[in-house]
A and B are shown apart, each in its own frame.
Chain A
Amino acid sequence: MQKLLRFLRPYRLELVLGPLFKLLEAIFELIVPVVMARIIDNGIAGKDTGYVLRMSGLIVLLGVCGLGFSLTCQYLAARCAFGYGTELRLTLFRHINTLSCTELDKLGTSTLVNRITNDVTASQSGVNMFIRLASRAPFLIAGAIVIVMLIDWQLSLIFLLIAPIVAFLLWYVMRRTIPLYSKNQRKLDGIARHTGESLDGMRVIRAFARQKQEAADFAAECADLEQSMLVAGRISAILNPMTFMIMNLGIVAVLWFGGMHIDTGRLTQGELTAFANCMTQILLAMVALANLIQILTKAQASSLRVAQVLETPSTMQDGTETSLPPEAEEVLSFAHVSFAYEGAGDAALEDIDFTLKRGQTLGIIGGTGSGKSTLAALITRDYDAVSGEVRCFGRNVRNWQQQALRSHIGVVPQKAVLFTGTIADNLRWGCADATDEALHHALEIAQAADFVDALPRGMQTHLVQGGRNLSGGQKQRLTIARALARRPELLILDDSMSALDYATDAALRGALAKECAGMTTVVISQRATSLLHADLILVLEDGRCVGQGTHETLLRDCEVYREIYGSQMQ
């Protein structure tokens, strides 16, 4: 929580002035009845029409000032709250960007999205309400207490007896509801995740005609959320009526003992009236305070969720080296590298050991789930090896500053993800200042120039989210062009030609060989033909390297490779 207070620091002025102006308004509000009393005492008694009109004018004037103070307070509150929320949201987004894949796997993206959007908003309205309401109620309570004590300190003991009870009530409700509100937020996360999954799987759901079942599952989830919202609501619903009852029972006691004091002459009737009025004032302020606390409790639950993410450190320590060693001949090497995903039983990779020189091509082939993509993820340091050493451009990847390392690598992920924006925007992802010519050249190598040029708006064609308006193969070719556009030292193709027909595949490989001769390349593929000319081929099975060498030597020595190659050549 301390972490979040930091975001309020730039708005210290607003935080002090806002409540102050609210206070001034409250004071002016209290003066109004005093002026009115004067009208009654002096104006009416003295039958002074002029005095009555003058004093009425004063009341209007006080109102105008109150309006001014109040507007100032509201303005300051809005400025502070939205300034705070905007900065917090940005910092959260920035922080999530620094998290490593391990943390992302653990947290899940839908809850992160929810925290950036909903929870920050809730925390922000908490600040807004705090400035607008926090000073008024305590001021009125404090003022009324002073008056009460001045009137009859013995009677005011009754109030001192009640106050702890009300305080306990507030504390109790807060303590009980904060965990409940976080639980509700978690359920809301679940609904967001489910909605996203249903949108992704819309075709499959419909192909199985399962919409009704999906809707029913969803209804159950919503009903579950409703139930736990009702539980939280049930507890917080106690707050207002209980405060009302406790305070008024206090007034009953005041009346009874007050009557006794009047009997003994300690108190006058008018004083008792004033005392009761003050108690009512306190009651109203208490109810307002209780409402404020309810709002703040919700905001608190959300703030904790935001703070939790901010307090999650990246488990990966960033290196410091940023420059590319010019003499590095060994572009990539794995020295007895093993890796296991967190929480998984088996190792995903075991004892991988190879070296790749500048300009060479590494081919990785192997069965489904044999660890091919995991190997690629270790190169870009998405994860850290459990043992062994991954070296890239002649340096342990742990010593590289991650962004610097990745800026020299072009990755084409297995899943062809494109983003909202034009094709040109997408191609510039890896290299913001690439010229149109450079982009077009990348498109040509990726065999995507033909279809992009055929589009009415060419590279300026707008892609809807994920490039849904393109076919699978078109998306893959654009992701290849995107990686090439940054002219990387090392290009990683993670089974990224699976949706391409063989002719395109072959043309692409030809263009790559011709245009990017100096580029070191890692190709993951299931097509043995795609890897024939690789300088080194790794054959993976269940995370172990069961053979490495060139096509010829593997064909001679490696049983698994022969089997793979044979199955494709029959």
Chain B
Amino acid sequence: MKNTIFRILHYTRRYRRDLVLSILCTLTGVSLSLVVPILIGMAVDYAVSPGKVDFAGLGHTALLLAVTVLVSGVLQWLAGLFINRLAFGTVRELRTELTEKLGRMPISYIDGNARGDIIARVVSDIEILSDGLLQGFAQLFTGVVTILGTLLLMLTRNLIITAIVVLMTPLSLLVAAKISAMSHTTFQRQSALRGDIGALTEELVGNLRVVKAFTYEDRAEERFTAVNADLGEAGRRATFCASISNPTTRFVNNLIYAAVGTVGALGAIGVLPWVGVMSVGTLTSFLSYANQYTKPFNEISGVVAELQNAVSCAQRVFEVLDAPAEPDDSGCTVMQTCEGSIEVRDVSFSYTPEKPLIRHFSMKAQPGQRIAIVGPTGCGKSTIINLLLRFYEVQQGEILLDGISTQELTRDSLRSLFGMVLQETWIFTGTVAENIAYGKPDATPEEIEQAARAVHAHGFIKRLPEGYQTVISDSSGLSQGQKQLLCIARIMLTDPPMLILDEATSSIDLRTEHRIQRAFEKLMRGRTSFIIAHRLSTIRSADLILVMRDGNIIEQGTHDTLMAQNGSYAQLYQSQFHTA
């Protein structure tokens, strides 16, 4: 917990100026506000009794008081602004860093963690941290200044009683520390459950159509109710646990007050000579100082719940920041362009150690060749793509591009050499034009339209309410096939030396596919291309066909040689024209 706090503080370093200024403003602002009661006392002293009122002195002090109040108010206001800047800026940096980090995380991390939970970390956890920072800083600065100021004033009056107050303070701190240690685990549980409910909500609300189709509403509710009840219970416990600390510190403060009163009174009576000479006036001011001195402890312990909540949320954010990213590859070779010869040499890979998938896989593709990968679902076709693009790293063997191991290239430059269209379409919230120009943000409207025409998407785009400027998202009314057309248009705009088409046209009707075939032919000309498809018509013209089963290549050759072998491929091909 201590480390987390230091780490949060570390993130504020860029706002050192705001930090220093806010401390300065708080210091002077709060110090001046401590002077206010003294000035009030002085003013009252000028008005003794009827006829004995020094209006000149009174006016003078009142004016001084007014000025003090105004200056103090302005300074406190400024301090608030600086703290805002500090807290919001820090939070922005943290959020930016977190998302930047997510961009560098291995794909396996993204694949293996619930989407909703990751989003909860980016959104709600950081939000709670922001609130905590704000409150924490504000209370902390004011508190520290008040404590120090009061201590100074007390010291000028009576050493012994000051000592009593100071010596009893650790008691208050000890109690607060004890309770916060107790509630810390409950807060961790609360934020973990908050992540869970985020993940569950994201999944169930995000796929509400499926929920409805299967009349799963009642059971969805049951599951939600269970997690929700746990969260409610954990939250109640954490909050109550943390809120014990404030009344308890107040109780300790009450003890301090009683002790000061007793010792002071006994000192005034003369029973305790070591206290020193004590007048009633001194005792009165001491009592009010004791109150003022212990108040900040209350206030700080009052926001302990928020602070602890913030700390456990920060831990969840740091968890992501600390998880190993893809190793830095800035020292690797940047390959601008390539011939396009690919050699896979004795590669083995599996997602889970107990379930080997690809074993001793080898193949060679000459520049410009068209390689088709076919095989039953789940045989590892998409895994080959994952390995070629280094979304996952090979566990044994190597993949060579133009004779250079892909491990020696930067991931970005390697991936930029491929144009990729996946079966799972990805449309982000933005205009149609932005979606098409994703790989080439500086494309002109003409280029965008040309790409759309090439894939026969221009027609439906024109029919959208605002044509190319229509804002679309994954859940807006586009059909799966239309989304796929947009993803293909994306590739048409870029000019990659190699292509990967993983079931790129699976949701597009055959007529349209047939029409865009020409565009594909043009695109693939002279480029090494990897094609995964079930429609074997698209595969027939491939230079090399790899037939896979259970992670191994069982046949390879051209369409004609494979048909002649009359093996798996021939069977697959024939089944296409048979009806059950």
How many contacts between A and B, using CB within 8 angstroms?
Answer: 516
Query: Once the chains bind, are B439 and A208 in contact (CB under 8 Å)?
Result: yes
Query: Once the chains bind, are B580 and A369 in contact (CB under 8 Å)?
Result: no
Q: Which of A139-147, A160-168, A404-412 contacts B (4 or more CB under 8 A)?
A: A404-412
Query: Once the chains bind, are A191 and B122 in contact (CB under 8 Å)?
Result: yes
A residues 211-246 near B (Cβ < 8 Å) are 211, 213-215, 218-219, 222-223, 225-226, 229-230, 233-234, 237-238, 240-242, 244-245
A374–B494 CA distance with the chains assembled, in angstroms: 33
Is A75 on the interface with B (CB-CB < 8 A)?
yes
A486–B213 CA distance with the chains assembled, in angstroms: 12
Is A352 on the interface with B (CB-CB < 8 A)?
no
Q: How far is the CB of B124 from chain A (nearest CB, A)?
A: 5
Known: A78-B236, A564-B511. A344 touches B127 (CB 8 A): no
Q: Which of B85-93, B149-157, B358-366, B396-404 contacts A (4 or more CB under 8 A)?
A: B85-93
Query: Once the chains bind, are B201 and A116 in contact (CB under 8 Å)?
Result: yes
Q: Which of A59-67, A325-333, A434-442 contacts B (4 or more CB under 8 A)?
A: A59-67
Is A568 on the interface with B (CB-CB < 8 A)?
yes
- Nearest to B512 among chain A residues (CB) is A368
Q: Which residues of A contact B247 (CB under 8 A)?
A: 25, 66-67, 70-71, 74
Query: Once the chains bind, are A211 and B103 in contact (CB under 8 Å)?
Result: yes
Q: Which residues of A contact B484 (CB under 8 A)?
A: 368
Q: How far is the CB of A204 from chain B (nearest CB, A)?
A: 5
Q: Which of B159-167, B341-349, B414-422, B443-451 contacts A (4 or more CB under 8 A)?
A: B414-422
A424–B283 CA distance with the chains assembled, in angstroms: 76
Query: Once the chains bind, are B73 and A241 in contact (CB under 8 Å)?
Result: yes
Is A552 on the interface with B (CB-CB < 8 A)?
no
Q: How far is the CB of A429 from chain B (nearest CB, A)?
A: 5
Is B148 on the interface with A (CB-CB < 8 A)?
no
Known: A93-B224, A117-B198, A498-B506. A237 touches B50 (CB 8 A): no
Query: Once the chains bind, are A59 and B235 in contact (CB under 8 Å)?
Result: no
Which of B59, B103, B494: most chain A Cβ within 10 A? B103
Is B143 on the interface with A (CB-CB < 8 A)?
no
- Nearest to B326 among chain A residues (CB) is A206
- Nearest to B438 among chain A residues (CB) is A208
Mask of B460-478 contacts with A, CB within 8 angstroms, 1/0? 1001110000000111111
Report whether over half of chain A's contact residues are helix, strand or loop; otherwise say mixed.
helix
Interface size on A, residues (CB 8 A): 191
A241–B211 CA distance with the chains assembled, in angstroms: 52
A348–B232 CA distance with the chains assembled, in angstroms: 45
Q: How far is the CB of A136 from chain B (nearest CB, A)?
A: 12
Query: Once the chains bind, are A197 and B429 in contact (CB under 8 Å)?
Result: yes
A39–B211 CA distance with the chains assembled, in angstroms: 71
A128–B89 CA distance with the chains assembled, in angstroms: 28
B residues 170-213 near A (Cβ < 8 Å) are 194, 197-199, 201-213
8 Å CB contact of B474 from A39, A197, A276, A564: A197
Q: Which of B3-11, B262-270, B523-531, B553-561 contacts A (4 or more CB under 8 A)?
A: B262-270
A456–B96 CA distance with the chains assembled, in angstroms: 41
Mask of B206-225 contacts with A, CB within 8 angstroms, 1/0? 11111111111101110011
A residues 483-534 near B (Cβ < 8 Å) are 486, 495, 498-507, 509-510, 513, 526-529, 532-533
A507–B572 CA distance with the chains assembled, in angstroms: 12
Q: Which residues of A contact B85 (CB under 8 A)?
A: 230
Query: Once the chains bind, are A63 and B239 in contact (CB under 8 Å)?
Result: no
Query: Once the chains bind, are A369 and B534 in contact (CB under 8 Å)?
Result: no
Query: Once the chains bind, are B429 and A96 in contact (CB under 8 Å)?
Result: no
Known: A276-B40, A429-B216, A501-B534. A74 touches B244 (CB 8 A): yes
A362–B144 CA distance with the chains assembled, in angstroms: 77
A residues 167-207 near B (Cβ < 8 Å) are 188, 191-207
Query: Once the chains bind, are B74 and A241 in contact (CB under 8 Å)?
Result: yes
A residues 433-484 near B (Cβ < 8 Å) are 451, 456, 464-466, 468-474, 476-477, 482
A242–B265 CA distance with the chains assembled, in angstroms: 39
Query: Once the chains bind, are B265 and A121 in contact (CB under 8 Å)?
Result: no
Query: Once the chains bind, are A420 and B214 in contact (CB under 8 Å)?
Result: no
Give the 5 A-B CB pairs with smallest separation, nearest first: A473-B377, A368-B481, A86-B232, A63-B254, A70-B247
- What are 19 A-B contacts defined by CB distance under 8 Å? A44-B265, A49-B266, A70-B247, A90-B221, A105-B476, A114-B123, A193-B429, A197-B474, A234-B81, A238-B77, A262-B47, A346-B463, A368-B460, A369-B479, A407-B215, A419-B204, A456-B355, A498-B534, A564-B511
Known: A413-B209, A465-B203, A502-B572. 15 other contacts (CB 8 A): A44-B280, A59-B257, A82-B235, A116-B205, A132-B243, A193-B429, A206-B107, A211-B103, A215-B100, A218-B100, A233-B81, A368-B481, A411-B214, A432-B219, A472-B424
